[in-house]
A and B are shown apart, each in its own frame.
Chain A
Amino acid sequence: MRPLFLSIWLCLSVILGATLTTGAQAQEPLRIIIDEAIIEPLPFAVPNFQPENAQAGQMANDLARVVAADLIGTGLFREIPATSYISSVTNFNAPVQFADWKAINAQALVTGAVSVEGNSLNVKFRLYDVFSGAELGSGLQFSGTVDGWRRMAHKVADAVYTRITGEGPYFDSRVVYVSETGPKDDRKKRLAIMDYDGANVQYLTDSNAIVLAPRFSPSGDRVLYTSYESGFPRIYVLDIGSVQRRVLESAEGTMSFAPRFAPNGQTVVYSLTQGGNTDIYSMDITTGQSLRLTNTPAIETAPSYSPDGTRIVFESDRSGTQQLYVMPVTGGEAQRISFGEGRYGTPVWSPRGDLVAFTKQNKGRFHIGVMRLDGSQERLLTASFLDEGPTWAPNGRVIMFARETQGASGSSTLYSVDISGRNLRPVTTPSGGSDPSWSPLQ
């Protein structure tokens, strides 16, 4: 009789159509239910895709590798290596030899076929439940460009992940972050954008001015961030396609930072500091018209909208320490939601609307955690010298954040973790990284 919340969100369970357990009830469908109990990852096989023409040869192998990496990266799947294969797939349309895949305990089998014509790429795939000997869902095909081949692989992996877990897709997404080089006392920062898995890094600014905390627009086409290029922190909006930027209106003698888009893509909520006092404002980015949402002598910052755009979660030290509060988008009375030990900052509303991710400081350690909007069910997912700045995957299942190591040679690295607290892993970037912001699904 646990609440639904717990059974859905707590730990990861892999329920493998009963095949791992007793083998007695062998006909349950292939399914990973993310649940409380902890079982082992689901074994799958992704043989190299079939090239349908000569140009597709290399691409067929590369696509299968990215699909496998996406699935493995969730911590929910385990790949059966090709060296174990008994059967080989030589024709996308030929019948699958299920017995051969069953013999090596590949419970899911992903097959694909690829054709390349000039710069256009076509990818077909099928997903099989090996133990029931049936296709799971129907085959799909995706078309795109050769340059965008990794996106095709992510789409295939998203379809496989979604069909097996019932969770929303997230591999076909990007992350904008702050790329960092150099020691702590001479750190160079520039905005960078990459695929969610760290591939295809591109730089959006140079490192002449400090840049902080980029945030995607709801449509993924623009980024808000804070830059010191004027000598003072001000908010900029950058168009990713053209890499053109413009500064948002701000009064002389003020500092503005911590911007975030509303779900309408038109309003921005941010912090403005004047006379040493930091409050939260919102602004229409077209008209520049702003509205003050908080008015206290406390530090009020890190605002984040609810997915329905009606409320804002933010941090304030009005109680004496940093804590999380929720208020209407028009400002007004705010309700405190964090009551645990320590300090809470950088709240981010989940895309599903049910949870807030945050940074918690307690007893000299930093944690990334999640809680419900009423402050209940607080769960700390990480612990280190300095973890901060969570951002949600588009499916609300995974969180990315930055971890800074201590000491003179300390550096910052991006990490991801499942909201169960499992599957903590670094995200590979060419240099250090901080302040990640996950895009919506592309």
Chain B
Amino acid sequence: MKRFMTSGLLIAALAVTACTNPNRFGSDGLGADGTYGAGVNGSIVPGSANDPTSTAFFQQSVGDRVLFDVDQSTLTPTGQATLAAQAQWLMANTDYQAVIEGHADEQGTREYNLALGARRANAAQEYLVSQGVSPARLRVVSYGKERPIEICSNEACYAKNRRAVTVLAGGLTS
């Protein structure tokens, strides 16, 4: 299910991109009918979520994060699909650099979680590089358990906190 949604987003990304720059990803036959984006009639606001070259678009439509199982840094199939989409986007938007932030949930000691977050960020970085993104554009940092986004103390929150987030820097429209 999640995998399906991710690929749906990727299609959306491609579709919207196709409106503004049909050749950016090559001709892959995806309909440029504007179904998924606001690109119809040329009403794109640069830098907004419907500008496919924007950070907001990357975060919301490509997906800026991948999640991990407890105490693991192995990428899930969903995570790999998200990273593949990120890689495509990064290769199309070469003005951007990225810092990949690794995070852990609060179950664990501080130092170990820093190291675990580093493993996760590194796993994401290696996948992006394997998909063709230049390592020179990517840096990694771990925040361990210092920066949770969800604050309850159960698995529903922990699952969202065990993440690697690709944070963009640079870009012409930002």
A interface residues, Cβ below 8 angstroms from B? 183-185, 187, 189, 210, 212-213, 228, 231-233, 253, 255, 257-258, 271, 273, 275-278, 299, 301-302, 315, 317, 322, 345-346, 359, 361, 364, 385-386, 388-389, 404, 406-408, 410, 435
Chain B residues near A183 (CB-CB < 8 A): 151
Chain B residue total in the interface (Cβ 8 A): 32
| A386 engages B106 (CB within 8 Å) | yes
8 Å CB contact of B111 from A257, A364, A385, A386: A257
A294 to B: closest C-beta gap in Å? 12
Interface contacts beyond A301-B112, A385-B153, A408-B151: sample of 18 additional A-B pairs, CB < 8 Å, sorted by A = A185-B147, A185-B150, A210-B146, A228-B143, A231-B141, A271-B111, A276-B122, A276-B126, A301-B111, A301-B114, A315-B112, A322-B109, A345-B111, A346-B109, A346-B110, A386-B106, A388-B110, A389-B110
In the assembled complex, the CB of B109 is this many whole angstroms from the nearest CB of chain A, namely 4
Interface presence of B49 (CB below 8 A): no
Cβ of B109 and Cβ of A359 under 8 Å apart? yes
Does B87 count as interface, using CB distance less than 8 angstroms? no
Contact between A388 and B109, CB atoms less than 8 A apart: yes
Indicate if B107 sits at the interface (CB-CB under 8 A): yes
Which of B73, B125, B139, B142 lies in contact with A273, CB distance below 8 A? B142
Q: Does B47 contact A (CB under 8 A)?
A: no
Using a Cβ cutoff of 8 Å, how many contacts connect chains A and B? 105
Name the A residues within 8 Å of B108 (CB-CB): 361
The 9 listed contacts between A and B (C-beta, < 8 Å) are A185-B149, A233-B142, A253-B139, A273-B142, A276-B73, A276-B122, A299-B119, A385-B153, A386-B107
- Interface residue B148 (Cβ < 8 Å from any Cβ of A): yes
> Cα distance A223–B96 when bound, in Å?
38
Is B90 in the interface zone, CB < 8 Å from A? no
When chains A and B are docked, how far (Å) is the Cα of A159 from the Cα of B104? 46
Is B111 a contact partner of A346 (Cβ separation < 8 A)? yes
Q: Which of B115, B149, B153 contacts A407 (CB 8 A)?
A: B153
CB distance from B42 to the nearest CB of A (A): 38
A184 lies within 8 A of B151 (CB): yes
* Chain B min CB distance to A400 (Å): 15
- Tell whether, in the assembled complex, residue B109 and residue A345 are in contact, meaning their CB atoms are under 8 Å apart: yes
Asked if A406 and B142 sit within 8 Å, CB to CB, the answer is no
B16 at the A/B interface (Cβ < 8 Å)? no
